Structure 1
Amino acid sequence: MKNIPFLVFIGLFLLLGCQSEPRKITKEIPIITTPVKIIAPKKAMANAATILSKKEVPILCYHNIKNIDANAGEMTRMYTVTPTNFAQQMKALSDEGYHTILPNQLYEYLVHDAPLPANPVMITFDDTRGEQYSIGAPEMKKYGFKGVFFVMTVSINRPNYLTKEQIKSLSDSGNTVAAHTWDHHMVTKYAGEDWDTQLVKPKKKLEDIIGKPVTYFAYPFGLWNKKAIPEIKKSGYQMAFILATKRDSIDPLYTIRRIIVAGQWSTPSVMKAIKSSFK
């Protein structure tokens, strides 16, 4: 019983302690975690030998689409396909099961081994002619075809050439707009400021018109040399297109082969050339 006073004292002490100021409750601060950004590894790029070993995609090059005057010279006849023949050729491509592809698809096929549709073909147009918009594009549209329009920027808005609005419309409807220099001077003669005038400025002008990157280029007359390729790369182009000459063994992406569809060819001749000209 001697411990009773001591126990009473302890009880009173605990009772008074319970009546003291309540313990402050601090809000829990949530732990914020920064999401980890996963960077996908870059795809390995095929080397030149691998690119050259791949089956070539047939690429057709058109210039003028109009009726040929009886007095037209040999060069005009060579570079001019009549509207009737162009329509027949587009129909023949469709009837034989060809599917048009664009340069971005060709690049992915060559560099990253991406698949292509069955019977791929590319339809390209050089020199900015107005009938490419008024005749060529509508005829291709009948078959769901898309094309590549290589524009020399000096001609934009001139009579019988493409306007800015037409170029924008071609791009907006799924075709590819690409560069073909400022004024069609051959690349093999460039020096000094020519590279900026003929490669850089046209690229920028076309990008301003269509609101998209312009990363493909066609050599005037199909003529090229090894000196031009580093300048074309430096100007921001991914691929460049020649005509039917041999590809470069070191930079095949900058010497993609095409064939001119000659005005004198019949439709069967065009179809035969597609099969015989590309390995």
Structure 2
Amino acid sequence: MNIRIFFLWLLDILGINALLSRLNRRKVLILWYHGICDDSFTQLKGYDDRFITRSSFMKQMEYLKNKSYNLITMTELINTIKNNGEFNKNVVLTFDDGLKNVIKNAYPIMQEYNAKGCLYVVSDNTGMDTLIWSDHVETLINSQKPGEFLFFFKGKKYTYILSDMKSYEYAIKDIKKKLRSITNKEMQEHLKQFTQVEKENLPEEYTLASWDELKELDAEILEIGSHTRTHPNCANLTDDVELENEILHSKEEIENIIGRKVEHFCYPAGSYNRRVLDEVKASGYQSAVTIEYGFIDKHADLYRLKRVEALASLPIFKSRVSGAYGILRAFSQIFRRRSFRIE
């Protein structure tokens, strides 16, 4: 047990989590997940902590149940805010990207524990034997043998030396960061240098749900929301046609296929600006979630809803659910700013 986990465990034993949970009971926690993988999954495969195991997810749902949290859908959350209702230890589960393993592993547990939430899907990739572009980049780099990996960006050649796990992770993060810094049209051109991943080589962790699987979901347990058509950084969309295509047309496409209204949106990589926010509103969505940290209350901006990322470690999860993590995070930021001024 490292020092950080021990400290969080101590907070729980001393009743700090229980106290903060009571103080925050009138606020809502929107938990942010990506994949819920089989227990045989290991992060040593090269994937990051966006993915947790089925057993970790079950322990988290058991914890929420034992602590008398009330899990609600995104629609129930929005209706309560609009009607000026009261919250009481409410939690909404959200899952980005529309991965198949959420339906396979998380959905049955949600049914068992009466947990509710929203699954945000990327409509152009759903039901296809393709990966979301960011997962495509990660998969290809992880599949490379140790040695040089070349990436051409804005006419310049970048050479990454792949050797250990850290070098692979650095190459993945740096290339995705570069791609997210340019317009969507430019990004699509740069992505052409990456070869297609064959169907038999698609990682199970990144495989997306099919339309038939989405149709079978009980909307009172797991609603379907939009995560755009192609998962761009929305703030990098340069014209109104692109914006409407990604935001409005994804909504229309999902609705036409599953036969239900799609009223909730999720900004890919948390990227948005005023143009994007206005398009989300104009397209008829009732809410949009960000990746900005925090709890929300009945005065929250429905199109800038904050979330809290759920990680596998139960002590970390408990501290994030209670709000202890937020306090520690704030103190850490203050300390860093003061340290910087001293230096």
Question: What's the TM-score once normalised by structure 1's chain length?
Answer: 0.72
Change (3 A) 1:210 1:115: farther
1:176 to 223, 245, 267: 223
Give matches, 1:118-197, under 5 Å.
118-159=88-129, 160-172=207-219, 174-192=221-239, 193-197=241-245
**Range 169-178 or range 228-237, more displaced:** 169-178
Match of 1:14 in 2: none
Change (3 A) 1:278 1:56: farther
In structure 1, C-alpha distance between the alignment counterparts of 2:29 and 2:105, rounded to whole Å: 22
Does the 8 Å contact 1:61/1:123 carry over to 2? yes
Does the 8 Å contact 1:152/1:184 carry over to 2? yes
Does the 8 Å contact 1:102/1:176 carry over to 2? yes
Does the 8 Å contact 1:68/1:80 carry over to 2? no
Change (3 A) 1:55 1:225: farther
Please tell me whether Structure 1 or Structure 2 has the larger radius of gyration of its CA atoms. Answer: 1
Q: Secondary structure at the match of 1:114?
A: coil
Which amino acid counterpart does residue 209 of structure 1 have in structure 2? Answer: I
Say how many residue pairs are matched: 219
1:216 to 264, 276, 282: 264
1:267 to 305, 308, 314: 314
Contiguous gaps of at least 5 residues in structure 2 = 1-24, 130-206, 328-343
How big is the alpha-carbon RMSD for the aligned residues of Structure 1 and Structure 2?
2.4
Which amino acid counterpart does residue 118 of structure 2 have in structure 1? Answer: V
2:243 is aligned with 1:233: no
2:78 is aligned with 1:107: yes
Match of 2:42 in 1: 69
Tell me the percent identity: 25
Which amino acid counterpart does residue 214 of structure 1 have in structure 2? Answer: V
Which amino acid counterpart does residue 33 of structure 2 have in structure 1? Answer: Y
Does the 8 Å contact 1:68/1:77 carry over to 2? no
Does the 8 Å contact 1:56/1:278 carry over to 2? no
Does the 8 Å contact 1:128/1:155 carry over to 2? no
Q: Could you tell me how far 1:172 is from its partner in structure 2?
A: 4.8
Match of 2:67 in 1: 96
Q: Could you tell me how far 1:70 is from its partner in structure 2?
A: 5.5
**Range 176-185 or range 221-230, more displaced:** 221-230
In structure 1, C-alpha distance between the alignment counterparts of 2:262 and 2:219, rounded to whole Å: 14
Give a deviation string over 1:219-276, Cα, whole Å, max 9, x none. 00122222211111111111110012579xx9811100112223xx411321210121
Q: Which runs of 4+ in 1 moved over 6 A?
A: none
Higher relative contact order (CA 8 A, sep 6+): 2
Does the 8 Å contact 2:247/2:280 carry over to 1? yes
Q: Could you tell me how far 1:111 is from its partner in structure 2?
A: 2.2
In structure 2, C-alpha distance between the alignment counterparts of 1:92 and 1:165, rounded to whole Å: 31
In structure 2, C-alpha distance between the alignment counterparts of 1:178 and 1:114, rounded to whole Å: 23
Q: Secondary structure at the match of 1:135?
A: helix
Give a deviation string over 1:147-186, Cα, whole Å, max 9, x none. 2111111221134211111111114564211100011101
Contiguous gaps of at least 5 residues in structure 1 = 1-53
Q: Secondary structure at the match of 1:105?
A: helix
Does the 8 Å contact 1:148/1:176 carry over to 2? yes
Pick the structure with more strand per residue. Answer: 2
